[in-house]
Structure 1
Amino acid sequence: MLRTLFAPRLILLHLLVIGVLVAFMFLGQWQLGVFQASGAKPADDPAPVPVTQLSQVGRYITKEQVNRQVTATGEYVAGDQLLVADRVADVTAPGGRAAKGKGYWLLTPLRLEDGTLVPVVRGWVPTPTDPAVAVPGGTVTVTGRLRASEETGDVVPSGPLPEGQVALVSTAELINLWTDAPLRSGFIVAASQDPPLAAKPVAAPRPMEDVGFSWRNLAYAVQWWIFAGFAVFMWYHFVREAVRSDQRRRQAAVGREPAATEPTG
């Protein structure tokens, strides 16, 4: 049987089927990705507005307000800065996390002119000792995107954190840590600042709107995977027939051999 399976004609068949499977699985995955991406498209991206128009004290950030461009002017409260551990420089990663390039978000409260605080992610640093951790003094103006408070289930801490570090940007948690002024909901992911940001800015997406899924692409994905299954079926059929044919030929050859004659004495 092994001789049949590794015959030159079947080796070519094996290689052909492997190539077909790889191609069909890739095409199916591609169509699935198109389907998944079809549910939303970039929405209108209005010009920045003061954060006080969208973020309030004691009110949730609405879906329509998430990722809106905002500006905020005030002074950072350097003594209350926190490091958000185990993060990457891209808020679009699941939970802001990734297998490589982990570091820290710089989370600093910005005291606005009305005395309220708004959390600002000033950027990303690879280590807690990076020089960019230092908080600028004086009045600053931040432009960025407004994000909703993270929920406990969004981020799974890898273990106990040192003092001065947190696992997520949660308004409910920050209220207990920053107690000297009312805290506005959500947080700003800074894209630019005056004076300029020292840390690497954290990438945040523009607003998206639901447009409905393209079910045709999902059907295409399933279709390619069905083709892959059919290719496996046909491969099995040809290999089985080749093995049976080889067995029949060997049996016929044995039947045609002359019978051995007994010696006469």
Structure 2
Amino acid sequence: MSEKPVAARPPERAEVFPPTLREVMLRPWWLGMLAFALLVAAVFAWLGQWQLGRAIDTNPPPPGATEQVRPLADVVAPGAYLPEPLVGQRVEVTGTFVPGDFLVVSSRYNDGVAGYWVTGQLRLDATAPTSLAVALGWAADRESADAAASALNDAPADTVTLVGRLIADEGPAAPPREGPATEMTRMSPAALLGWWHDVDDLNVYRPYLVADAGETLPDGLVAIDSPAPEEGSGVNWLNVFYAAEWAIFAGFAFYMWYRLARDAWEKEVEALEEAAAGAGPPGD
């Protein structure tokens, strides 16, 4: 009696174990990506530290520093921007007003009342032609302001010494639609320069001076209300906010590395599970 041949058993399929998330993160590619994330985070951290250093004033001006009268040349140079701690600084300056350059600026407020400023070009005693825009006085109506400006333009040019508060340039603006094309609503030396005379090779200060009330103030004008600036806290909160943003960006660099590595691990595990399910159990 012949023996029946024994059927060959199919080879057992080796069980495949998916990698762990830690194993995927320790692969050379993801270690390289981690090093790149560290570099990006370091740059963001440096930017945050830089912003934080600018946010805190380690050498703030002493209280009341703006009320000490200083020479104009010691505070700011012609053409330079007025630093923030010096906005509102009281200064002294000597010069001569240029006849014909007393102009009116509208939309000026004194104690909450709308009115007009009369301004002039003060030519300073300097080696090179240099001028400073000066706000001399305030009027409640345009007629009084125009009359005061006309009287000043007709007066003889004498050397004067002024004391007042230095204010940053407001920047020029287009005239209002309902007003004449020559109307100025901003106190801007750049805009006034376009109307001044004898301006060839002229150096002009960017800030302007709000002069104290003098004895020669024309009829119809009153002193401009110019209170002392409020004392700052020494902390720039906008820069603090920027520093916090950079810290968040640094943390986000690590999160992106983790999220990308996790996505790659999940896709690899899913592909292995689909391959195992498609192959079926042994013997099929």
Q: Could you tell me the TM-score, scaled by structure 1's length? A: 0.53
2:228 maps to: 206
- How much does 1:109 deviate? 0.7
2:124 pairs, out of 96, 99, 112, with 112
Change (3 A) 1:55 1:109: farther
Q: 1:84 to 1:183 in 2, by over 3 A?
A: same
**CA shift in 2, pair 1:49/1:74, >3 Å:** same
Unpaired runs of 5+ residues, structure 2, are 1-61, 236-284
Identity %: 30
The alpha-carbon distance between structure 1 residues 142 and 162, as it changes in their structure 2 partners (threshold 3 A), is farther
Say whether residues 1:147 and 2:164 are aligned partners. no
For each residue in 1:107-141, what CA deviation from the matched residue of structure 2 results, as whole angstroms up to 9, or x when unmatched? 11111111311000001012343243321531222
Residues 40-90 of structure 1: CA deviation (Å, up to 9, x unaligned): x96434421122222322210111111111111111113122211122225
In structure 2, which of residues 107, 119, 128 is the aligned counterpart of residue 86 of structure 1?
107
Match of 1:47 in 2: 68
Using the alignment, how far apart are the partners of 1:160 and 1:53 within structure 2?
A: 42
CA-based RMSD: 2.8
CA distance, structure 2, for counterparts of residue 50 and residue 171 of structure 1: 20
1:102 to 84, 95, 114: 114
Please report how far the alpha carbon of residue 163 of structure 1 lies from its aligned counterpart in structure 2 after TM superposition: 6.1
For residue 82 of structure 1, what is the amino acid of its counterpart?
L
**2:262 aligns to what?**
none
Size of the aligned set, in residue pairs, is 161
- Inter-CA distance 107–164: structure 2 relative to 1 (3 Å threshold): farther
Superposed displacement of residue 187, structure 1: 0.4
Q: Summarize the Cα distance change of 1:121–1:212 in structure 2 as closer, same or farther, 3 Å threshold.
A: same
Written as runs of structure 1 = structure 2, the 5 A alignment for 1:96-245 is 98=112, 101-114=113-126, 115-130=129-144, 131-133=147-149, 134-135=151-152, 136-137=155-156, 138-151=158-171, 158-159=176-177, 161-162=179-180, 165-178=183-196, 179-180=199-200, 181-193=202-214, 195-198=215-218, 199-211=221-233
Unaligned runs of 5+ in 1: 1-40, 91-97, 214-265
Query: 1:151 corresponds to which letter in structure 2?
Result: G
Deviation at 1:191, TM superposition (A): 1.2
Give, as a single letter, the amino acid of the residue that structure 2 aligns with 1:162.
Answer: P
Cα distance 1:113–1:204, how it changes in 2: closer, same or farther (>3 A)? same
Letter in 1 for 2:188: S
Quickly say closer, same or farther: Cα 1:78–1:126, change in 2 above 3 A. farther
Name the amino acid aligned to 1:132. A
Aligned CA distance change for structure 1 residues 82 and 163 (closer, same or farther; 3 Å): farther
Work out the CA distance in 2 between the residues paired with 1:102 and 1:149: 20
Q: Distance in 1 between matches of 2:72 and 2:177?
A: 34
Structure 2: which amino acid aligns with 1:88? Y
TM-score, structure 2 length as denominator?
0.50
User: Aligned in 2, Cα 1:55/1:44: closer, same or farther, shift over 3 Å?
Assistant: closer
